[in-house]
Amino acid sequence: MVRVEFLGPISRPPIELEATTLQEVAEFLQQDKSLVEWLPKCAIALNDSMVTSVDRTLKAGDKITLLPPVCGG
């Protein structure tokens, strides 16, 4: 199982799912209509390190974090 966390205005509780790649996680999340608008805008962190590609292998216990854009002053 991997854990997916949603930060900021996405405002959803974390979920756990079976996935072996970030691509599988992305495909699962794209099925949720309430997330579709956020996914293209979010940065992704894998175990607290930023990643730029969903071509990453996952292992049990990995944490994926979706980081929506923010602005402030």
- Domain chopping of the chain, boundaries: 2-67
Q: Model-level pTM?
A: 0.90
Cβ(62)–Cβ(2) below 8 Å: yes
2-57: pLDDT as tens digits: 999 999 899 899 999 999 999 999 999 999 999 989 999 999 999 999 999 999 99
Strand pairing report for 2-6 and 43-46: unpaired
**Domain 2-67 is found in CATH 3.30.1300.10:** no
Q: Which of 41, 40, 45 is nearest to 58 (CA)?
A: 45
